[in-house]
Structure 1
Amino acid sequence: MVHSKTNCPARINVVINADSSCVISKITLEHNHTLSPYKSRFFSCNRVIDTSIKRRLDLNDRAGIRLNKSFNSIVVEADGYENLTFGEKDARNYIEKARRLRLGEGDGEAICNYFREMQERNGNFFYAIDLDDDFRLRNVFWADARSRAAYECFGDVITFDSTYLTNKYDMPFAPFVGVNHHGQSILLGCGLLSTEDTESFAWLFRNWLSCMSDRAPKAIITDQDKAMQNAIARVFPNTRHRWCLWHITKKIPKKLRSYGEYHSMKSVMMDAIYESLTEIEFEEKWKRMIACYALENNQWLSGLYEERHKWIPAYVKDTFWAGMSTTQRSESMNAFFDGYVNSKTSLKQFVEQYESAIKNKAEKEAELDYKSFNSVIPCISRYAFEKQFQDVYTITKFREFQVELKELLHCETSLLSSTGKRENKREGLPQNSIAD
Structure 2
Amino acid sequence: MEKSRKEELNIGARKTYRMCKELVKGFENIGASLNDFKNCQRDIKCFIHERDGQLFIDRFKCMVETEPGFYFDYDVDEDGSLRMAIWADGIARRNYATFGDTVSYDPTYSTNKYSMVFTPFTGVDNHQRSITFCCKIIAKENHESFKWVFERFLIPMGGKEPEYIITDQDPGIIKYFPLVFKTARHRFCMWHIMNNVTTKYGSTRNDYQNFLNKLNAIIWDDDLEADEFDGKWLEIMGQHEVADVDWFTECYSKRRQWVMAHCKDLKIGAIMRTTQRSESENSFFKMFEHKSGTLVEFLMRFESAMEQQKYNRRDLTTKTVIKP
TM-score normalised over the length of structure 2: 0.75
Q: In the alignment, which residue of structure 1 is the partner of 2:82?
A: 137
Cα separation, partners in 2 of 1:176 and 1:277, compared to 1, 3 Å: same
For 1:214, the aligned partner's letter is: G
Return the alpha-carbon distance in structure 2 between the equivalents of residues 168 and 131 of structure 1.
17
Counterpart among 358, 366, 378 of residue 314 in structure 2? 366
Q: Please say which of residues 316-325 and 127-136 is displaced more in the overlay.
A: 316-325
For 2:308, the aligned partner's letter is: N
Q: Deviation digits for residues 15-64 of structure 1, max 9, x if unmatched?
A: xxxxxxxxxxxxxxxxxxxxxxxxxxxxxxxxxxxxxxxxxxxxxxxxxx
CA contact (8 A) 2:187 2:271 kept: no
Return the alpha-carbon distance in structure 2 between the equivalents of residues 345 and 216 of structure 1.
34
Return the alpha-carbon distance in structure 2 between the equivalents of residues 273 and 199 of structure 1.
33
Residues 49-64 of structure 1 aligned to structure 2 (within 5 Å): none
- Count of residue correspondences: 274
CA contact (8 A) 2:215 2:233 kept: yes
Q: Deviation digits for residues 144-196 of structure 1, max 9, x if unmatched?
A: 11111111001000111111125765110011111111112111010010111
Residues 236-247 of structure 1 aligned to structure 2 (within 5 Å): 236-247=181-192
Q: Which has the larger radius of gyration?
A: 1
Q: In the alignment, which residue of structure 1 is the partner of 2:148?
A: 203
Q: Is the partner of 1:190 in helix, strand or coil?
A: strand
Q: In the alignment, which residue of structure 1 is the partner of 2:31?
A: none
CA apart distance, 1:104: 3.3
Q: In the alignment, which residue of structure 2 is the partner of 1:271?
A: 217
Return the alpha-carbon distance in structure 1 between the equivalents of residues 115 and 103 of structure 2.
25
Give the gaps of 5 or more residues in structure 1.
1-102, 377-436
CA apart distance, 1:245: 1.4
Return the alpha-carbon distance in structure 2 between the equivalents of residues 177 and 242 of structure 1.
14
Q: In the alignment, which residue of structure 2 is the partner of 1:68?
A: none
Q: Deviation digits for residues 267-317 of structure 1, max 9, x if unmatched?
A: 333322223522121022123334445544332222221111112111123
Q: In the alignment, which residue of structure 2 is the partner of 1:193?
A: 138
Q: Is the partner of 1:182 in helix, strand or coil?
A: coil
For 2:116, the aligned partner's letter is: M
Counterpart among 270, 274, 285 of residue 232 in structure 2? 285
For 1:278, the aligned partner's letter is: E
Return the alpha-carbon distance in structure 2 between the equivalents of residues 338 and 267 of structure 1.
28
Q: Is the partner of 2:73 in helix, strand or coil?
A: strand
TM-score normalised over the length of structure 1: 0.57
What's the Cα RMSD here?
A: 2.7
Return the alpha-carbon distance in structure 2 between the equivalents of residues 349 and 294 of structure 1.
48
Cα separation, partners in 2 of 1:324 and 1:289, compared to 1, 3 Å: closer
CA contact (8 A) 2:84 2:136 kept: yes
CA contact (8 A) 1:222 1:327 kept: no
Q: Structure 1 or 2: larger helix share?
A: 2
Cα separation, partners in 2 of 1:165 and 1:241, compared to 1, 3 Å: same
Higher relative contact order structure (alpha carbons within 8 Å, sequence separation ≥ 6):
2
Residues 10-29 of structure 1 aligned to structure 2 (within 5 Å): none
Cα separation, partners in 2 of 1:363 and 1:254, compared to 1, 3 Å: closer
2:121 counterpart of 1:176: yes
CA apart distance, 1:234: 1.9
CA apart distance, 1:338: 5.0
